[in-house]
C-alpha cells in the first residue's frame, strides 16, 4: 500500500506531466482581433460598448478594455516559521519523528485583473510545520518580571489545569516543575503548528509592458496584502510509551552541548521523541475560543503579507509559477515559545514563509482575452502607429472641385451649373438681391424697392411714374370761362409769310493809293410756308402686369461664420458676413434668429459644448454691440460636435483627415426660429478656447 508521501509525489508528477499536454497551442501567434475591427466589439462588455462605438467613430482616442479571463490556481510548497525555536527544511529527513511531511503547505487562489498592471487575488492556504532546538533551556520557568523564583511564565509546561481542556483525547498537561525544589527543569523546545489562512493580495506587475515584443512568456510580480490566520500549536513533551509521563532529559542535557555536535544531538532527539505532539503549547489567555469544527481551539490573528513571484506561461490557458510570501502575524506564539533564557519576552514577533509551486488556469468565455497581466498595453499604440496615415476606413475624399467656377466647391454647391459671371451666395445659388424673380446678372435694377417689385419689366426695372396732364372739358367748368377762352384764342393761319432780308456787299480795290467802294443792297423776299397738321398721338403702351408683392423677410438666407481651432473670436475675413447678417436683421425687425455654435470632433464632449456656446455668445455680442442689432432678435444655442457638416472625421487631423474638413465643422449658423430663451452655458471647463483668432 502506498504511503501518504508516495501518494502526494505521484499526484504531483501526474500534474506536471499533464501540463505539457495543455501547452499544445493552436499555432496562432495572436488570435485576438485588432482594436479597430468590428470583431473586437464582441470582446467588450456591454457597459463599455458606448466607449468602443465612439472609438470606432473616431470621436474618442482610446478603445474599451477587453473582457479578460479569471485565473484559478493551486499551489504546494514548504511552510516555515521564523520564531524562537529553530526550524529548517527537514533536519533529519522529511519527518518529525515519523510524522508525514509536517513542513508542507497547500493553497489555492482566484485572481482578477483590474488593469494591465494591478490585479486582486483571494488566497487560501493551510499547512503544518514544525521545529525543535538542539540546546536545552529552562527559560520557560524563569521570569524577569517578578522576584519570585517560583513564578512559572509558561504554564503549559507546569501542569496548569486550565490547559487540560485543550489537550487531545484527555491527555494531561505536562509538568516539568521539580516537586522537591519547585523550580523548572531543563527541557528541549519543540513544536508542531497547524495553520489555516485566508487573505487578499494586491499584485503589481510591469513585466508585460514590452517595447520590442508583442507578448511575453514570463511575468515577474510583487504582492502585498492582508488576511486572517487561525493556528494551533502542539508540543511533544509526554512519552506515550511510558504512560504519558514527562520525558527524562537528564542524559540528553548532559551531553552534546557544543555547536559542532548539533547534528548528533538532533539525531539523538529524533530517536528520543515518540513524535505524537499530543500537548497544547503555550497560548494566549485572551483569545481562547470555544468554537467547534475545523477551527476548534484555534487562535485567531489578523495578518499582513508581502511577497514576489515569477510565472511562466505554457499557453493562453495554463501557466506555472514560483512564489514566496512572508506573513507578519503580530504574535509570538506560533512556535509555542516566547521566553528568553533569563525569563524576558523575546523582542520579535513570529512570521512564517510559504514558498509554493503554482499551477494556474485561465477560465472565461470564448470572447475574452487571457488575463491582462499577460497582455501588452502598448499593443494598441503600436497598431495605431503601424496604420497608414490615410486610412481605408475613412469616408471618401470630399469633392472640392468647382466645376462652374463660382467659388463654391461641388460638395457644397446647391446649383453646380450656375451661369458664369453670376454672383452666388455661400451655397452656390445665383443671387436675386431684390427678390424680384430676375437674377442679378440679368437685372438692370438689382435693388428695386420692395413696393415696386410688382411693376417690374423683363429687364428687372419698374417704369418711371410720369404725371399725366389735366384734361378738362367746358362741361367741367362753370361760368363763361370757355367763352372767354374762345375770344382770346387766335387760330393759326394756313399760310405764314416769312420775310428774308439779304444784304449784298460790293468791294472795288484799286492799286496804291487805295480806293475802296462799298455798295449795300437790301432785298426782301417773301416765302409762303404751309403749316403742317399735327400728327395723331401714338397709342398708349400696353398695361404692365403686376406681380405679387413678396415680403423680403419671409425667406431669409444668412451666411455661416467659420472659426480657428480652439478659438471663439470672429476672424477679420468673416466681418463682411457678420455685417450682412446685421443688415438683414435691421431690415427685418420682427424676425428672430437662433445663433447656433458648433465645433469639430477634437477634444472631449464637455469641452466642445462649452466652446460652441462661447462661439454663439461671441457672435451675438458682436451683432448687438458693434452692429446695433436688437438683442431680442437673437437666441443663443449650441450643438458641440454632434451636428457636423462633414462627419466621420478623426480627432487627430494630421494623421486621419485634413483640417479643411474640420474647419467647415467649426462654425456658427443662423436659422430663423420662434422667439425663445437662450440655452444656459453647459457644464464643462470654463477655460475652453480663447478669443483671439489667428491673424
- pLDDT tens per residue, range 586-618: 989 999 999 999 999 888 889 999 999 999 999
Instruction: Find, among 256, 259, 340, 292, the residue nearest to 85 by Cα.
Output: 340
**Domains along the chain with CATH numbers:** 71-384 (2.40.160.20), 432-464+546-550 (no CATH), 561-672 (3.30.1330.60)
- What's the whole-number mean pLDDT along residues 518-547? 56
Predicted confidence band at 209 (pLDDT cuts at 50, 70, 90)? Answer: confident
d(CA 565, CA 666): 7
Q: Rounded to two decimals, what is the model's pTM?
A: 0.55
Question: How high does pLDDT run on average in the chain?
Answer: 78
Residue among 594, 614, 578, 591 nearest 686 (CA):
614
**Which position has the higher pLDDT, 265 or 575?**
575
pLDDT(249) > 50: yes
SS3 at position 8: helix
**Can you give the pLDDT at residue 126?**
93
| Rounded Cα distance, 58 and 557, in Å | 33
Q: What angle do CA 328, 330, 331 make, to 5 degrees?
A: 110
Rg (CA), the chain: 56
Best mean pLDDT range from 81-95, 326-340, 617-631: 617-631
First to last CA, the chain: 95
Taking the C-alpha atoms of residue 562 and residue 665, their distance in angstroms, rounded to an integer, is 8
**pLDDT number for residue 474:** 57
User: Where is pLDDT greater, at 104 or 695?
Assistant: 104
79-97 burial code (b ≥16 CB/10 A, e <16): bbbebbbbbeeebeeebbb
pLDDT in tens, 399-435: 778 888 888 888 888 888 888 878 888 888 888 877 7
Please state, as a whole number, how many other Cβ atoms lie within 10 Å of the Cβ of residue 549: 11
Residue 645's pLDDT band (boundaries 50, 70, 90)?
Answer: confident
Query: 3-class SS at 15?
Result: helix
From residue 263, how far is each of 88, 270, 275 by CA, in Å?
Answer: 13, 10, 18
Strand-pair category, 634-640 with 593-598: parallel
CA diameter of the chain: 202
| pLDDT over 90 (residue 354) | yes
Between CA 489 and CA 484 the distance in angstroms is 9
pLDDT digits (tens, 9 = 90+) for 538-588: 776 665 545 555 577 877 888 999 999 889 999 988 998 998 999 999 989
Q: Give residue 466's pLDDT band: very low, low, confident or very high (50, 70, 90).
A: low
Amino acid at each position: 500500500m502506498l504511503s501518504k508521501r508516495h501518494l502526494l509525489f505521484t499526484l504531483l508528477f501526474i500534474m506536471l506531466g499533464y501540463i505539457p499536454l495543455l501547452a499544445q497551442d493552436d499555432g496562432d501567434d495572436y488570435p485576438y482581433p485588432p482594436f479597430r475591427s468590428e470583431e473586437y466589439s464582441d470582446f467588450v462588455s456591454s457597459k463599455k460598448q458606448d466607449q468602443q462605438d465612439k472609438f470606432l467613430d473616431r470621436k474618442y482616442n482610446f478603445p474599451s478594455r477587453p473582457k479578460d479571463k479569471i485565473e484559478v490556481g493551486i499551489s504546494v510548497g514548504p511552510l516555515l516559521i521564523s520564531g524562537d525555536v529553530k526550524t529548517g527544511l527537514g533536519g533529519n529527513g522529511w519527518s518529525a519523528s515519523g510524522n508525514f511531511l509536517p513542513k508542507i503547505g497547500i493553497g489555492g487562489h482566484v485572481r482578477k485583473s483590474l488593469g494591465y498592471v494591478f490585479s486582486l487575488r483571494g488566497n487560501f492556504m493551510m499547512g503544518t510545520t514544525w521545529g525543535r532546538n538542539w540546546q536545552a533551556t529552562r527559560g520557560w520557568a524563569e521570569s524577569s518580571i517578578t522576584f519570585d523564583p517560583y513564578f512559572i511564565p509558561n504554564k503549559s509546561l507546569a501542569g496548569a489545569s486550565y490547559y487540560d481542556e485543550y489537550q487531545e483525547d484527555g491527555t494531561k498537561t505536562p509538568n516539568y516543575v521539580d516537586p522537591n525544589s519547585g523550580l523548572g527543569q531543563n527541557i528541549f523546545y519543540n513544536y508542531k503548528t497547524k495553520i489555516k489562512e485566508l487573505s487578499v493580495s494586491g499584485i503589481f506587475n510591469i513585466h508585460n509592458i514590452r517595447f520590442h515584443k508583442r507578448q511575453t512568456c514570463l511575468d515577474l510580480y510583487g504582492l502585498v496584502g492582508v488576511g486572517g490566520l487561525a493556528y494551533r500549536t502542539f508540543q511533544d513533551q509526554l512519552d506515550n510509551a511510558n504512560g504519558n509521563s514527562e520525558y527524562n532529559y537528564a542524559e540528553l542535557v548532559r551531553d552534546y552541548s557544543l555547536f559542532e555536535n548539533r547534528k548528533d544531538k538532533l539525531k539523538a532527539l529524533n530517536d528520543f521523541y515518540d513524535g505524537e505532539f499530543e500537548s497544547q503549547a503555550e497560548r494566549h489567555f485572551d483569545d481562547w475560543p470555544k468554537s467547534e469544527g475545523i477551527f476548534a481551539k484555534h487562535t485567531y490573528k489578523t495578518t499582513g503579507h508581502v511577497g514576489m513571484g515569477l510565472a511562466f506561461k505554457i499557453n493562453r490557458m495554463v501557466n506555472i509559477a514560483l512564489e514566496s510570501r512572508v506573513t507578519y502575524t503580530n504574535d509570538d506564539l506560533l512556535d509555542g515559545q516566547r521566553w528568553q533564557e533569563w525569563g524576558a519576552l523575546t523582542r520579535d514577533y513570529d512570521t512564517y514563509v510559504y514558498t509554493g509551486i503554482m499551477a494556474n488556469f485561465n477560465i472565461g468565455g470564448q470572447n475574452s482575452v487571457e488575463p491582462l497581466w499577460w497582455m501588452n498595453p502598448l499593443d494598441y499604440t503600436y497598431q495605431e502607429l503601424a496604420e497608414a496615415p490615410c486610412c481605408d476606413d475613412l469616408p471618401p475624399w470630399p469633392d472640392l472641385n468647382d466645376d462652374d467656377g463660382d467659388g463654391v466647391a461641388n460638395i457644397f454647391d446647391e446649383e453646380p451649373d450656375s451661369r458664369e459671371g453670376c454672383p452666388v451666395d455661400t451655397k452656390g445659388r445665383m443671387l436675386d438681391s431684390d427678390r424680384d424673380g430676375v437674377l442679378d446678372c440679368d437685372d438692370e435694377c438689382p435693388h428695386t424697392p420692395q413696393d415696386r417689385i410688382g411693376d417690374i419689366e423683363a429687364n428687372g426695372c419698374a417704369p418711371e411714374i410720369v404725371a399725366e396732364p389735366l384734361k378738362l372739358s367746358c362741361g367741367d367748368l362753370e361760368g363763361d370761362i370757355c367763352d372767354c377762352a374762345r375770344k382770346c384764342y387766335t387760330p393759326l393761319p394756313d399760310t405764314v409769310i416769312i420775310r428774308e432780308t439779304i444784304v449784298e456787299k460790293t468791294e472795288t480795290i484799286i492799286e496804291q493809293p487805295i480806293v475802296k467802294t462799298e455798295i449795300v443792297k437790301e432785298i426782301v423776299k417773301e416765302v409762303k410756308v404751309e403749316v403742317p397738321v399735327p400728327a395723331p398721338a401714338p397709342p398708349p403702351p400696353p398695361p404692365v402686369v403686376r406681380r405679387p408683392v413678396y415680403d423680403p423677410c419671409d425667406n431669409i438666407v444668412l451666411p455661416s461664420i467659420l472659426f480657428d481651432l480652439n478659438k471663439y473670436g470672429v476672424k477679420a475675413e468673416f466681418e463682411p458676413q457678420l455685417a450682412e447678417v446685421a443688415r438683414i436683421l435691421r431690415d427685418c425687425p420682427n424676425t428672430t434668429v437662433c445663433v447656433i455654435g458648433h465645433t469639430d470632433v477634437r477634444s472631449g464632449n464637455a469641452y466642445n459644448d462649452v466652446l460652441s456656446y462661447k462661439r454663439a455668445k461671441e457672435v451675438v455680442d458682436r451683432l448687438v454691440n458693434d452692429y446695433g442689432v436688437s438683442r431680442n432678435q437673437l437666441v443663443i444655442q449650441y450643438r458641440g460636435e454632434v451636428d457636423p457638416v462633414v462627419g466621420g472625421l478623426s480627432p487627430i487631423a494630421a494623421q486621419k483627415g485634413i483640417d479643411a474638413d474640420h474647419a467647415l465643422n467649426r462654425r456658427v449658423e443662423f436659422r430663423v426660429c420662434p422667439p425663445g430663451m437662450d440655452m444656459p452655458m453647459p457644464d464643462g471647463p470654463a477655460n475652453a478656447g480663447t478669443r483671439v483668432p489667428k491673424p
